[in-house]
Amino acid sequence: MNQNVSIRIKGIYDTGEDKSEVELFTGGRMCKKGGKIFITYEESETTGFEGCTTTLKIDDGCVTMIRKGESTAHLVLKQGIRNIGRYRFFGNMMDIGVFTDDLSSDFNEDGGTLHLRYTLDMNTSLLSENELFLDVKPIDGKGKDECHA
C-alpha cells in the first residue's frame, strides 16, 4: 500500500489558561512498510510549521512523530508511558516530556483513524493537555511503488 491521501487533523490544546481547537485539511501520502503505517504531509502556515514535513509512524500501540525542516521534533507516544522528545523551535533545542493517556488507531487500505490524548511537560512542569484526531482517506491515484518513510 502506497497512496495519495486526504488528511483531516483536529487538535485540542489546553494550557490551563487557554484552550484552543485547530482543524487542518491537507494532502499527503500513506504507505505500509514492514507492518508499520507511515503518513507524511507538508506543514502549513496554519500549524506554525510552514516549510516542515511531518511523518507519523504508527506501529502496534506506538506512534512516532518526526518533523523535519526549519523546526524539528522527534516524539514517541506510547500509552501509559512518559517519553522525552527533542524539539528545535526558533533555533532553540528543548527536551519535552510527553505522556500518552490514550492511543487508538485503525488503518487499512481504505485509510483509517488515529486518536491520541497526551500531555506535554518541560522539567516535569505541565505545559499542556492535548487531544489529536487524525482521519485519513485515499484519493484517486496510487503513488510510487516504493515507500520512502
pLDDT band at 145 (very low <50, low <70, confident <90, very high): low
The DSSP code for 43 is -
pLDDT level of residue 46 (50, 70, 90 thresholds):
confident
Buried b (16+ CB within 10 A) or exposed e, 97-130: bbbbeebebebeeebbebebbbbbeeeeeebbbb
d(CA 28, CA 13): 23
Q: What is the pTM of this model?
A: 0.86
Q: How confident is the model at residue 148 (pLDDT cuts 50, 70, 90)?
A: low
Task: Assign domain 2-140 to its CATH architecture.
Answer: Beta Barrel (2.40)
How do residues 74-108 score in pLDDT, each as one tens digit?
Answer: 999 999 999 998 887 777 888 899 999 999 999 98
How do the domains of the chain map onto residue ranges?
Answer: 2-140
- For 139, the grid coordinates are 484519493
Please give the C-alpha separations between residue 15 and each of 12, 50, 89, 105, 130, in angstroms, as whole numbers.
10, 23, 18, 25, 9
- In Å, what is the CA distance from 142 to each residue of 4, 29, 149? 6, 9, 16
Structure letter (DSSP) for residue 146: S
pLDDT of residue 135: 97
Amino acid identity for residue 106 in this structure: D
What phi, psi does 11 have (nearest 5°)? -120, 140
Tens digit of each residue's pLDDT (9 = 90 or more) over 20-33: 998 989 999 999 99
